[in-house]
Amino acid sequence: MRQSPQGIASDITKKIEDPLIEQVEAVGPYVNIFLDKSVVSTNVLKTILKEGSNYGQSQIGQGEKIVLDFSSPNIAKPFSMGHLRSTVIGQSLANIVEKVGFQSVKINYLGDWGTQFGKLIYAYKLWGDENKVRQNPIKELLELYVKFHKEAEANPQLEDEGRNWFKKLEDGDEEAHQLWDWFRDESLKEFKKIYDLLGVDFDSYNGEAFYNDKMANTINQLKERELLVESDGAEVVSLDEFDLPPSLIKKRDGATLYATRDLTAAIYRQNQYQFKQAIYVVGHEQSLHFKQLFLVLQKMGFTWAQNMHHVPFGFILKDGKKMSTRKGKVVLLDQVIQEAIELAKENIDDKNPSLENKEKVAEMVGVGAIIFHDLKNDRLNNVEFSLEDMLRFEGHTGPYVQYTHARAQSILSKYAAEPKVNDGVNDDESWPVVKRLHQFPEVILKSYIEYEPSVIAKYLIDLSQAFNKYYGKVKILHDDRQLDDRLALVESTGIVIKDGLRY
């Protein structure tokens, strides 16, 4: 059927017929199809009103489990902007995955082990003040850590002592262990405050320390399968056949490494949860590590390793550079959130002073702004840290979307009636809104397939824009034959925005 595109177009045009379609015409190589607005909008609105917040749901997950590894901050350190991305993206993906019918298992793989804790324990013993730490744990511990590094530059012996204390910790020394436990508890309390604010929760807080006594078994399994090769005094798994550098399992001194722990954690999680997929929301600088990790698991004969995915994201940069944790120069998430809420409050006092429960709204707007700012762009883009951008409330922002929702609700509250759909809406003004409402299930699906929350964020902006234009042009509360249908449109928009903002 070798024909000109124009010819094909006009042939197709003659053959299309469907109740949804009003008119078809061929323009050059294109076939333009005009849908019947009344029929389509009636369908869409009825579906949304009926399904409510279930609209867009699907069952492709069939109740299987997906394990998501995200957030994973280091204890005894402040929650930085860098961890925000993993946290927000991870939580969002968990919600998306649930929406398409999976069961999510959210794991916070805390960075709670390593030489750094030896150093911290030693620093605490040298300079620490119990009361101060109790009052403001993270801040105090960070100061101790920073001080340690500063002093260690002049006095390298400190480093040895630090390593020593870590050794004690590993050997189960009681004093060391008590301090470690305490630091961990205090840190978790602080983190949970932030998680509450962000609306994030976890099913497991098993961090690195949890796997300490389980790594020997992993190493045995590697040995049994004859995968461990000696190289330069260290033990590695070769990945030559994949054209990749080998994965280091044991250091020359016999100590284990990151990779060993991650292998162990993966195997443990598979046994524990029988997950269908495992998703790691970790910065893109670790791409190679995860590639290696998954391949080693496959070499060990674990076929489920094929369903493990690294979901990378870009950095948050400061002046074009990665933000460094070391010298205490981090921007604390806590402060940023407080500032955002403050600003939201000012805005409310300024623009909407009569509002009830201002505090609550300010919190929703402030936090919403920060989360949305993080989700709206492609995961992989690096973002330059800018308070100004984060706290912006106009244009492509969370508050814009929330505001749109508030407008919709406001209309509905003025006209309390059972929503119903009669003949649908068929004017040109409402059509863009209808079209977008119709797209929602597809958008959810796409965000799942790509593991990309920004798909939904962009959609919400788009929908809000369409709705605000409609709102500007059409008087909704105008008593005529289409009043019910317009209200149904407003309500449907509200439902979709509200649901969409959950992700």
Partner RNA sequence: GUCCCAGUAGCUCAGCAGGAUAGAGCAACAGCCUUCUAAGCUGUGGGUCGCAGGUUCGAAUCCUGCCUGGGACGCCA
24-53 residues in contact with RNA (CB under 7 A) are 27-30, 32
Among 101, 111, 128, 199, indicate the residue that binds RNA (CB under 7 A). Answer: 111
Nearer of residues 41 and 404 to RNA, judged by Cβ: 404
Binding mask of the shown chain, residues 418 to 457, with x at each position contacting RNA by CB under 7 A? ------------------------------------x---
Q: How far is the CB of 399 from RNA (least distance, A)?
A: 4
Asked if 39 contacts 19 with a C-beta cutoff of 8 angstroms, the reply is: yes
Q: Which helix (H) or strand (E) holds 164?
A: helix 157-170
Nearer of residues 47 and 347 to RNA, judged by Cβ: 347
Nearer of residues 54 and 58 to RNA, judged by Cβ: 58
Asked if 166 contacts 114 with a C-beta cutoff of 8 angstroms, the reply is: yes
- Give yes or no for residue 380 binding RNA (CB under 7 A): yes
Among 142, 236, 305, 316, indicate the residue that binds RNA (CB under 7 A). Answer: 236
Nearer of residues 214 and 322 to RNA, judged by Cβ: 322
- Give yes or no for residue 320 binding RNA (CB under 7 A): yes
Nearer of residues 32 and 335 to RNA, judged by Cβ: 32
- Give yes or no for residue 212 binding RNA (CB under 7 A): no
Q: If you write DSSP's letter for every residue of 348-402 in order, what string do you get?
A: HHHH-TT-SSHHHHHHHHHHHHHHHHHHSS-TTS-EE--HHHHT--SSSSHHHHH
Nearer of residues 45 and 133 to RNA, judged by Cβ: 45
Q: How far is the CB of 63 from RNA (least distance, A)?
A: 25
- Give yes or no for residue 7 binding RNA (CB under 7 A): no
- Segment interacting with RNA, rule: CB under 7 A, options 39-47, 55-63, 175-183, 474-482: 474-482
Q: How far is the CB of 156 from RNA (least distance, A)?
A: 16
Nearer of residues 182 and 403 to RNA, judged by Cβ: 403
Q: How far is CA 414 from CA 65, 221, 433, 481, 491, in A?
A: 43, 67, 21, 18, 12
- Strand order of the β-sheet with 308-311 is 103-107, 65-69, 277-281, 308-311
Beta-carbon neighbour count of residue 157 at 10 Å?
Answer: 10
Closest by CA to 503, choosing from 53, 138, 154, 147, is 53
Among 137, 399, 424, 453, indicate the residue that binds RNA (CB under 7 A). Answer: 399
Nearer of residues 31 and 331 to RNA, judged by Cβ: 31
The secondary structure of the chain in percent helix, strand, coil, rounded to multiples of 5, reads 60, 10, 30
- Give yes or no for residue 54 binding RNA (CB under 7 A): no
Strands (E), 159-292: 228-231, 234-237, 247-250, 277-281
Q: Is 479 exposed, middle or buried (0-12, 13-18, 19+ CB in 10 A)?
A: exposed
Q: Identify the bridge partners of residue 313 per DSSP, sorted by sequence position.
A: none
Nearer of residues 396 and 435 to RNA, judged by Cβ: 396
- Give yes or no for residue 245 binding RNA (CB under 7 A): yes
Nearer of residues 174 and 213 to RNA, judged by Cβ: 213
Q: Does residue 473 come out as left (phi exceeding 0), alpha (psi in the -120 to 50 range) or beta?
A: alpha
Among 156, 172, 472, 481, indicate the residue that binds RNA (CB under 7 A). Answer: 472
- Give yes or no for residue 211 binding RNA (CB under 7 A): no
- Give yes or no for residue 406 binding RNA (CB under 7 A): yes
The phi, psi pair for 458, rounded to 5°, reads -65, -40
- Give yes or no for residue 360 binding RNA (CB under 7 A): no
Q: How far is the CB of 129 from RNA (least distance, A)?
A: 28
Q: How far is CA 332 from CA 119, 139, 148, 257, in A?
A: 22, 10, 20, 29
- Give yes or no for residue 198 binding RNA (CB under 7 A): no
Q: How far is the CB of 233 from RNA (least distance, A)?
A: 5
Among 139, 149, 289, 318, indicate the residue that binds RNA (CB under 7 A). Answer: 289
Nearer of residues 104 and 404 to RNA, judged by Cβ: 404
Q: How far is the CB of 452 from RNA (least distance, A)?
A: 8
Asked if 459 contacts 500 with a C-beta cutoff of 8 angstroms, the reply is: yes
Q: Three-state SS string across 267-332, please?
A: HHHHHHHCCCEEEEECCHHHHHHHHHHHHHHHHCCCHHHHHEEEECCCCEEECCEECCCCCCCCCE
Q: How far apart are CA 216 and CA 132, in angstroms?
A: 39
Chain positions 116 to 155 lying near RNA, rule: CB under 7 A, are none
- Give yes or no for residue 476 binding RNA (CB under 7 A): yes
